[in-house]
Amino acid sequence: MNVQEYISSGIIESYVLGLASEPERAEFEQKCAQYPELLAARRAFEKELEQFASDHAVPPPVGVKVRFLEAIGDQSSRDRSSSNQPKIIPLEKGSVRMHSGWSRFTAAASVILLLGFAWMAYQFYSLKGTNEELASTNAYLRAKATTSDSILNQIIVEQKVVSDPNTTVVNMVGTQVAPRSSANIYWDSTSSNVFLVVKNMPKLPSEQQYQLWALIDGKPKDLGVFDATNDKVILKMKNTLKAQAFAITIEQKGGSPSPTLQKMQSLGKITQIQ
Amino acid sequence: MASWYTDPGSPGSRDCELVLVPLFSLLSASIYQQTLGTTTTYSEQDLIVALKERNNNAFSYLYDNYANALYGIIKQIITDNHELASDVLQEVFINIWRKIETYDQTKGRLFTWMLNIARNASIDTLRSKSYQNSQKNQELADNVYKGTNNQTTRLNVDNIGLKKVLEKLKPEHRILVELAYFKGFTHEEIAELEGIPLGTVKTRIRNALLQLREYLK
């Protein structure tokens, strides 16, 4: 590369004054590292520019320096608030500086800042509190919506089963052991689906469960276990093609192979002729 | 309610200290700076090291030595509003303080770096919406109270430093430097504004800068 040509293309001036494009800058920086004469030429222009700027300097208003130093004093003390021991400067009585307009201004500004910070912190904490409240309410409502949705879906299923003309409804009534127990069986004899709706079954200890049986020609057939907690919600039980009656017994959790008849809770006979 | 006045040691009161401590150090820092003058002198190398350490004396020194030159540049760009120009100067020094870590000596002198910060801040201010609005109001006020005098005062203010040198350039070169350097338009924008090819904009600006450099000496 012809360095002299590159130098006289005006790239140096364009780069230093901040008018070069990003690719031009990258190329220039790379070449500066490569060609010392290019670097020297750049430095020379930078010095000229600095000289020109200081020849045409304009003194700014006095207050700017004080404001600048205050601003960085503030920020640097915030940056290292714990590591820096504050310096103690004895205040002389009647010190002229302390009575200057600026001191008063900074004192007043500090008080205003303090109030401002206090207000912002208050806002921050109260908003934080409100936000947390809203978040927990939101989570609660969401959980509630999920539960409601699943209940609604179950109701829709129940509604379909109940209104189906092929469904046989068997009203299960309490036995002498449990006179108040009651439930409904919805038995679709074409699809052999069995649904159970608990109307009133007492809560059981955790190691026990209710078990539904179909009685076919005097023999019991297991139709699955259920808990009393799903009150008034339809439960899908095991299918059966045949049944003359249904019975509910209390069994160990998970169910038994044959029913414990002395603990039979409710019984329902199918009245409809198959 | 906020935990502003809870017992010491509770989490709330610790948060509270975090807010209060800088405020008190702000007060003491301002007293400190007003009481103690800065007398140290630095070589450019030492100055850069001290600035990167965020030494307040170094920043005070930096201000004393460069503020006038930078203010001169700012006033070349913000020509008509002294108050705004001095606000920009303050902002420029705060930006220098903030960005000093990013200053890379291999890419240019400290002054060059600061000059570019000053130029960018000035152009950003000129382009800001609030300035544009104040400008409209100002022009309206000028028209009402000063009438035709407005034009002459503006010319006088412009007639210093770089801009004076600029007048030595050919008009077609001058306008390009004016737009690129003092108004911050990109080469592409200028090509569109002036209806000339991008390549021509680039070469004209470079040639203009080379000529300007001759006049600067």
One pLDDT digit (tens) per residue for chain B, 217 residues: 444 443 444 444 444 444 454 544 444 444 444 444 445 688 888 999 999 999 999 999 999 999 999 999 999 999 888 889 999 999 999 999 999 999 999 999 999 999 999 999 999 998 886 667 766 665 555 544 443 443 333 434 444 667 778 888 888 899 999 999 999 999 999 999 899 999 999 999 999 999 999 887 7
State whether A74 and B70 contact (CB < 8 Å): no
Task: Compute, in degrees rounded to 10, the torsion defined by CA atoms A45, A47, A48, A54.
Answer: 150
Are both B53 and B117 inside the same structural domain? yes
Segments making up each domain of chain A, as ranges: 3-55, 104-163, 167-269
State whether B21 and A59 contact (CB < 8 Å): no
Are both B104 and B168 inside the same structural domain? no
For A85, nearest residue in chain B (alpha carbons): B25
For A111, nearest residue in chain B (alpha carbons): B23
Please identify which residue in the block is written with the tokens 């590369």.
Answer: A1
Cα separation, A52 vs A208, in Å, equals 97
Q: What is the pLDDT of residues A165-182, one digit of tens each?
A: 888 888 888 877 777 788
Overall domain count for chain B: 2
On whether the CB atoms of residues A193 and A220 are closer than 8 A, the answer is no
**B188 Cβ contact list (under 8 Å, min separation 6):** B198
User: B65 to chain A, minimum CA–CA distance in Å?
Assistant: 9
Are both B110 and B171 inside the same structural domain? no
Which chain A residues have a beta carbon less than 8 Å from that of B69?
50, 53-54, 56-57
B2 in any annotated domain: no
B152 in any annotated domain: no
Are both B53 and B122 inside the same structural domain? yes
B95 in any annotated domain: yes
Question: What pLDDT does A74 receive?
Answer: 65
**ipTM of the predicted structure?**
0.72
On whether the CB atoms of residues A19 and B181 are closer than 8 A, the answer is yes
**Residue B171 maps to which CATH number?**
1.10.10.10
Question: What pLDDT does A12 receive?
Answer: 95
Q: Count CB-CB contacts under 10 A for residue A37.
A: 12
Question: What pLDDT does A122 receive?
Answer: 84
pLDDT at A89 over 70: no
Q: What is the pLDDT of residues A118-130, one digit of tens each?
A: 888 888 888 887 8
User: A95 to chain B, minimum CA–CA distance in Å?
Assistant: 10
Closest partner residue to B25 (CB to CB) among A32, A57, A81 is: A81
B62 in any annotated domain: yes
Cα separation, A21 vs A116, in Å, equals 43
Q: How deeply is A71 buried, as exposed, middle or buried, from its count of CB atoms within 10 A (0-12, 13-18, 19+)?
A: middle
**Residue B75 maps to which CATH number?**
1.10.1740.10
Which chain A residues have a beta carbon less than 8 Å from that of B30?
69-70, 73, 103, 106, 110
> What is the domain range of residue B203?
160-216
Q: Buried (b) or exposed (e) across A91-116, using 16+ Cβ within 10 A?
A: eeeeeeebeeebbeebeebbeebbee
Are both B171 and B97 inside the same structural domain? no
On whether the CB atoms of residues B74 and B163 are closer than 8 A, the answer is no
On whether the CB atoms of residues A213 and A221 are closer than 8 A, the answer is yes
Are both B47 and B120 inside the same structural domain? yes
Secondary element (H or E) of residue A245: strand A245-252
On whether the CB atoms of residues A220 and A212 are closer than 8 A, the answer is no
Cα separation, A122 vs B189, in Å, equals 48
State whether B34 and A97 contact (CB < 8 Å): yes
Q: Token pair for residue B178?
A: 């004016």
B4 in any annotated domain: no
Which chain A residues have a beta carbon less than 8 Å from that of B22?
74, 77-78, 81
For A56, nearest residue in chain B (alpha carbons): B161
Residues shown for chain A: 274
Structurally, what CATH architecture does the domain formed by A167-269 represent? Sandwich (2.60)
Q: What value, to the nearest 5°, has the Cα angle with vertex B88 and ends A14 and A69? A: 115
